[in-house]
Amino acid sequence: MQFGGRRKKNSINPQSELYGQHLQFYGQPPLENISLSEFETFAVERLKLLKTVENLGVSHVKLTDLYISKLEKELKLVYSYRKNDFYGPTEYEKRRKDHISHFILRLAYCQTEDLRRWFIQQEVDLFRFRFNDLDPKQQLEFLHKNNLRYDTISSEEKLKLKDQLINSSFGVSGITVMEHEFYKVPFQDALDLVRLRKVYLKQGYAYIPHQDIVTIVLNDFRTRLSKALALTARSLPAVHSDERLQPLLNHLSHAYVGQDYSIQKNVGKISLDQIDSLSGKSFPLCMRQLHQSLRENHHLRHGGRMQYGLFLKGIGLSLEQALQFWKMEFIRGKVDADKFDKAYAYSIRHMFGKEGKRTDYTPYSCMKVILSNPPSQGDHHGCPFRHSDPELLKQKLQVYKVSPSGINQVDSSFSLNHPNQYFLESQKLLGGGKDIKREMDAPQRSQENAASKGSTATQEVAANTSQHLAEMTEDLDSFFQDA
């Protein structure tokens, strides 16, 4: 195997064996020396890629054409890819970078459950994409090289077992059997399929259709990575003692986590009578909506109370203020003071960590608002860009006077992922004396971007919604341009 034109000692060392393929399981750590700057660059680039994977994965159904072409674009620039470029870094260089950057990020992301989960999820998605891109021969080669003893079965065998295969595997018809590959896998490697009896078993082997083999390989990858991260975490103290690395690694992992707005910096700086005007000026659309419906109905259901209540906490409301705020509003409705104290006060105190297991709950990020607890009839929480009827949303935006020029201006460097972030940025801008309307519109627009994310759970639904949202934004454009 020829590796580029670089004269490197490394081409003789066993590491280069690893780079014989486009894709690897990252079983062996890199053994060479690299400079600090390379260390940092590699890490940051991979992090960017993983964030792209994350964003694409939420806004597109994974593995649809759009998703694939977008990810392809990002990937090609940086990493080893089946369709090689003739220009740019050599294959060897790309694979080496892939290898090293993965291991660096392991150091940064092994520390907590959340970090690990995020890292594993993106790496698995990236792996799935790259694996699917290999042609069948390369895939088989990959499996064998990595000791996954999976062989395809011959056409004769397929014919012989046709009925059993049809009756065992989900979504497999007679045509599928003859046209697609089937792999013979030791049953111990396909436990999820065996457990549910969704696969044909014979003499200790599971006969798996191609569509399912990817799942198995992915599960294998996920398990290996998970174990490796646990091991890595144990050696962290040694790594952290190196002062050159520690700040860099911390920076890398915080770049993901971001702020959670739980530390109340401005407690008491907001007074209750400011809330109404603030809601018009600096609240993101979801919170504005919740506030409005609270004022109108003198009530909010649990989902709404949580989302809005925590947001208020995040902008600086104290517990006493919050209790007063909610009580004043609720007694205007059907709830009397006594009932409020009995039924609702507890949950507000709970939000502030004063009851029960005393968790000081953090305000919801956009992702959380969008993906968990979708609103149903009678609810007002959620994300309007995700959960609202497009027509209603159009109306609302109109009411809130989002100007046409505002819609067109997309501030690409501003990425919104938290309602409290919106509030802070908005207050900053307002405080800075800039043109309120124009600047506010940019956040509004990037809210749409951030929010046009479907749930990956029901992929088809998400696809439709994304489509709707895409159409809707286009409609909005034309609508406001006409106005």
Minimum distance, C-beta of residue 209 to another protein, in the bound complex (Å): 12
Contact between 147 and another protein per CB under 8 A:
no
Q: 163 to 192, contacts with another protein by CB under 8 A?
A: 164, 166-168, 170-171, 173, 176, 187-188, 191-192
Minimum distance, C-beta of residue 223 to another protein, in the bound complex (Å): 11
CA dihedral 98, 220, 136, 96 (to 10 degrees): 10
CA 100/CA 34 separation, integer angstroms: 9
Nearer to another protein, 273 or 460 (CB): 460
- Residues making up the binding site for [4Fe-4S] cluster: 286, 366, 383
Contact between 197 and another protein per CB under 8 A:
yes
HEC string of 142-154 equals HHHHCCCCCEECC
Contact between 196 and another protein per CB under 8 A:
yes
Minimum distance, C-beta of residue 476 to another protein, in the bound complex (Å): 30
Nearer to another protein, 180 or 396 (CB): 180
DSSP 418: -
CA 64/CA 359 separation, integer angstroms: 40
Nearer to another protein, 37 or 188 (CB): 188
Contact between 3 and another protein per CB under 8 A:
no
Nearer to another protein, 166 or 214 (CB): 166
The answer to whether the beta carbons of residues 344 and 329 sit under 8 Å apart is no
The sign of the dihedral angle between the CA atoms of 184, 187, 192, 194 is positive
Nearer to another protein, 170 or 346 (CB): 170
Among the residue ranges 160-168, 314-322, 419-427, 447-455, the one whose residues contact another protein (CB under 8 A): 160-168
Contact between 151 and another protein per CB under 8 A:
no
Among the residue ranges 27-35, 145-153, 159-167, 301-309, the one whose residues contact another protein (CB under 8 A): 159-167
Q: 61 to 90, contacts with another protein by CB under 8 A?
A: none
CA 237/CA 324 separation, integer angstroms: 47
Burial of 416 (0-12, 13-18, 19+ CB in 10 A): buried
Contact between 234 and another protein per CB under 8 A:
no
Angle between helices 113-133 and 65-78 (to 10 degrees): 100
Minimum distance, C-beta of residue 145 to another protein, in the bound complex (Å): 23
Contact between 25 and another protein per CB under 8 A:
no
Contact between 214 and another protein per CB under 8 A:
no
Residue 170: helix, strand or coil by DSSP?
coil
Cα–Cα nearest to 303, from 379, 362, 386: 379
- Residues making up the binding site: 286, 366, 383
DSSP 288: H
Among the residue ranges 8-16, 28-36, 102-110, 200-208, the one whose residues contact another protein (CB under 8 A): 200-208
Nearer to another protein, 105 or 213 (CB): 213
Nearer to another protein, 177 or 369 (CB): 177
Distances in whole angstroms, Cα of residue 462 to Cα of each of 60, 66, 171, 375? 8, 14, 22, 16
Burial code (b: 16+ CB inside 10 Å, e: under 16) for 283-309 equals bbbbbbbbbbbbeebebbeebbbbbbb
CA dihedral 210, 215, 219, 220 (to 10 degrees): 10
Contact between 39 and another protein per CB under 8 A:
no
One-letter amino acid for residue 90 of the chain: T
The answer to whether the beta carbons of residues 81 and 97 sit under 8 Å apart is no
Contact between 255 and another protein per CB under 8 A:
no
Contact between 462 and another protein per CB under 8 A:
no
Number of residues that bind another protein (CB under 8 A): 22
| Selected binder of another protein within 37, 203, 277, 377 (CB under 8 A) | 203
Nearer to another protein, 171 or 247 (CB): 171
| Selected binder of another protein within 118, 150, 183, 200 (CB under 8 A) | 200
Contact between 12 and another protein per CB under 8 A:
no
Cα–Cα nearest to 123, from 145, 139, 108, 135: 108
Nearer to another protein, 16 or 164 (CB): 164
Minimum distance, C-beta of residue 188 to another protein, in the bound complex (Å): 5
The answer to whether the beta carbons of residues 454 and 470 sit under 8 Å apart is no
Give the footprint of another protein on this chain (CB under 8 A): 164, 166-168, 170-171, 173, 176, 187-188, 191-192, 194-197, 200-205
